[in-house]
Amino acid sequence: MSEVQKNWNNKLIDFHGRCRAAGLKMTPQRVAVFKALIGTDKHPTAEDVYRDVRLEMPNISLDTVNRTLLTLVEIGAAFVVEGTGQPRRYDGGMDDHQHFRCLKCGKIVDFHYEPYDNIDVPAAIGHYTVLRKTVYFEGYCDACTHDN
């Protein structure tokens, strides 16, 4: 089995465990939405995921895709890329990483800079339970920088 196939299988096993822990069934719709999300590095909107899933499940509704994506976020199988100011963009990559978003074309790119993995929580918010720490950069990608 290839490394890519092992990674894919591990993500599905993890997803199954998260669903079970949350008391959720592994419905075909949930699996299809999850596969569409983890099968891309584009940080899709719900409508993007809907278009992909409809190829496999033509009768699925946009509402089902929206609710399923929100459920994936609730159980920790995905997250919303914050700060875009546009329709929600989702990320199924649960490994440690950060994001860069181009202000012109909207492209979101993953990168990993290890020192950002261990950002200290400031004492001023120390009495809150921090579930996720993110680093997010904005600017212009190479293509948009050269267009100006």
Residue boundaries of the structural domains of the chain: 3-91, 98-147
Band the pLDDT of 78: cuts 50, 70, 90: very high
Supply the pTM of this predicted model.
0.82
Of the ranges 26-30, 75-79, 122-126, which one carries the lowest mean pLDDT score? 122-126
Band the pLDDT of 84: cuts 50, 70, 90: low
What's the Cα-to-Cα distance from 69 to each of 2, 125, 126, rounded to whole Å? 28, 29, 30
Cβ neighbors of 77 (< 8 A, separation 6 or more) are 14, 15, 18, 19, 34, 92, 94
Q: Which CATH class is domain 98-147?
A: alpha beta
Give the total residue count for the chain. 148
Closest CA to 134 of 104, 103, 89: 89
Q: For the domain bounded by 3-91, which CATH number is listed?
A: 1.10.10.10
Name the pairing type of β-strands 89-91 and 98-102. Answer: unpaired
